[in-house]
Chain A
């Protein structure tokens, strides 16, 4: 394996990774996925290593996924949940970083309401830092698990398929979605053609300059039917202070994926959602649970991808090539 360009110190954002590193992560995740399918899932790979989940923002799903991933690798996992802001305790981010340092973790997985926090920690901590979502910015492990899921969907007979040339449509609040933030970087890197769909209130002002290769549409009809995959984003009402659309009813009519629309998808097209779903708003439950849905695969792949991230960052000189033999 070409590990020369693939050494991964931190996983801060997809924007910081090159193609060879992404491929290493996805290949490593595949190995762990296979291990997860065995009767005895736990491997001793990270025994004696300490992973800290530092969550300044509540997120049971992502935190649990990283926690399970760490435990499968036999790492010690500590959950360190700051309140919604570290400042509310009168403690600054740098204080928190220094306290963490004293525990000598091998990797810190951080989720924060503020963009850039993983970068600030990486500058101030001696250990590896993995971004589990920062503000409106990036959520790299989510994009990587989406890519793994898409590779599965586009492959055949257990062989991963390529995303090259595939049309992927991302629907919803692009501005306020860090899942989109990471996918808009990762999917084109893997050769996919990406189109985003949403009302102009949900498309960032700097979209065209920041992501010149991405197509933008403000109407779902006519924009998703040629898709190989449709990624429906969660409407994050809790994070939106201003009106971006009039009512849930209107949103679901204009931008929701209901049964009738799902029937117009290409035969092999798949539907993704980062969860949790606002059922009936962005996604009809019958579509979420229907044949095109790969939402549960995403959850499973999430653990495999996060195992890969912990292994590659906290495992020190681990060689992904040897991984299969080791277990």
Chain B
């Protein structure tokens, strides 16, 4: 008989089942066997989760693992380690590697590295266009066969509307979504931060919200023509949130994600020219942040995704406009999400939904819930434990975070994938 693990007496929060109760989760082999009110007497391994939050494993739709090509910033193994330390059991790896993941060989390499790391599930995203150039469609069908679960040119928009139209149509035939990085390059050109009060004060060239809005509106219009599934990556503006909300009302298949840095910070954080605040899309105005919080609450947003983008000092210790875009996020995402719960911005159930069943729904995964029979991926969190963000302690190879020194509450204590413990916090029990 398969090995039985019982995670006893934790506060089990599983939004897919509308569950928030003290339960004992029984894992048998690689799947969830049962959710019992009282712990069973027999277990091969018994984990006392009293006082802890027990949730389905977190799913991150948007991670840059940098392998192949930029392993000095991150590789599949270090990224997967950062993921499980952050409570993530599934991550989607972006294709802007070197070479680009626009061919099955690269997909297979990523999957091979992930298998060897034996940490979390790594689902590759394939490129929409060859070399992310926005011109010829990548071999999407072959990429899907090799294991890609979504297509994106992330890091860049698909500027040609006709290429975007064909990409949506073609992906629809494969039953997969196209994830879009929405940025009109003619509007964002030369910009280093959000355009508004603070870009004016700081003398940095701004990127207007419209650079994102016009592309979201364009792609929703294309989706009306093509059908299929459009997933908006790292949505950051009030206008884009409004457009997605309206499209959902019209029953179009549009999903979207929001990052912890966009819901936690505004462009005010750029004030010191600290390049760890430089990202694309940029940190937006406080009205945008408020709109994102509303969209997180009201169901417009499907997932919280980190856009984990590791960079070394070589790319970040530069003049602000010259510094690379991006922040690491896997190890701070859960606590930043729980911060919204503690501040009353988001009910706990909804917050966990955005990390579990929400992203699972975008990709049609069977994970993201603790329903009996489903893969035994779960995360145990101590909601009461406060900790200080110290980038030096990150498992990620990179340290580019604007949250250094922040005191956060809610600590991932252990992470389980397919019934196996893949991460244990060094700090204590559970």
Contacts and interface: CB of A to CB of B under 8 A. Distances in A.
Nearest to A136: B203
B321 A241 contact: no
* Most chain B beta-carbon neighbours within 10 Å: one of A15, A114, A178: A114
A85 interface: yes
A66 B208 CA distance: 37
B317 to A, nearest CB: 5
Nearest to A207: B200
Given A114-B322, A210-B200, A241-B190, A119 B273 contact: yes
Interface string A113-147: 11111011000000000000011111000000000
Given A87-B318, A115-B273, A116-B320, A135 B203 contact: yes
Interface string A158-184: 000000000000000001001001000
B318 A115 contact: no
Contacts of A117: 319
Given A138-B203, A241-B189, A114 B196 contact: no
Contacts of B298: none
Chain B interface extent, by class: 20 to 34
A233 B366 CA distance: 62
Interface in B159-188: none
Interface in A95-114: 112-114
Given A116-B273, A241-B189, A210 B204 contact: no
A209 B286 CA distance: 13
Contacts of B189: 241
Contacts of A207: 200
Interface in A181-226: 181, 204-207, 209-211
A20 B201 CA distance: 22
A87 B322 CA distance: 9
Nearest to A182: B203
Contacts of A64: none
A98 to B, nearest CB: 11
B317 A205 contact: no
Given A92-B317, A94-B317, A115 B200 contact: no
A290 B202 CA distance: 36
B205 interface: yes
* Most chain B beta-carbon neighbours within 10 Å: one of A115, A117, A134, A136: A115
A6 interface: no
A135 to B, nearest CB: 5
Given A204-B199, A206-B195, A135 B204 contact: yes
Nearest to A85: B322
A123 to B, nearest CB: 9
A210 B321 contact: no
Contacts of B319: 85-86, 93, 112-114, 116-117, 120
B206 interface: yes
Given A87-B322, A114-B321, A209 B204 contact: no
Interface in B277-318: 314, 317-318
A209 B197 CA distance: 5
Contacts, number: 83
Contacts of B322: 85, 87, 114
B200 A119 contact: no
Contacts of B200: 175, 204-207, 209-211
Nearest to B198: A206
B272 interface: yes
A116 B195 contact: no
Contacts of B317: 92-94
Interface in A56-104: 85-87, 92-94
A46 B190 CA distance: 41
B273 A120 contact: yes
A181 B322 CA distance: 21
A115 B197 contact: no
A135 B321 contact: yes
Contacts of B199: 204-206
Interface in B181-238: 189-190, 192, 195-206, 208
Contacts of A136: 203-205
A206 B314 CA distance: 32
A205 B206 contact: yes
A221 to B, nearest CB: 26
B288 to A, nearest CB: 13
A116 B318 contact: no
A206 B318 CA distance: 25
A178 B203 contact: yes
Given A119-B272, A206-B198, A134 B203 contact: yes
B204 A137 contact: yes
Contacts of B202: 115-116, 137
A205 B208 contact: yes
* Most chain B beta-carbon neighbours within 10 Å: one of A116, A136, A207, A210: A116
Nearest to B189: A241
Given A120-B273, A241-B190, A115 B195 contact: no
Contacts of A206: 195-201, 206
A210 B201 contact: yes
B201 A205 contact: no
Nearest to B319: A114
A241 B205 CA distance: 12
B267 to A, nearest CB: 9
A190 to B, nearest CB: 19
A204 to B, nearest CB: 4
A203 B14 CA distance: 51
Contacts of A112: 319
Contacts of A204: 199-200, 206
Contacts of A135: 203-205, 321
A204 B200 CA distance: 6
Nearest to A15: B201
In order of increasing CB-CB distance, the 6 nearest A-B pairs are A137-B203, A116-B273, A114-B319, A206-B200, A209-B197, A206-B197
Given A115-B321, A136-B205, A209-B200, 15 more contacts: A86-B319, A93-B318, A93-B319, A94-B317, A115-B192, A115-B273, A116-B202, A120-B273, A134-B203, A137-B204, A178-B203, A206-B200, A207-B200, A210-B200, A241-B189
9 contacts: A15-B201, A85-B322, A92-B314, A93-B317, A115-B203, A119-B272, A138-B203, A181-B203, A209-B196
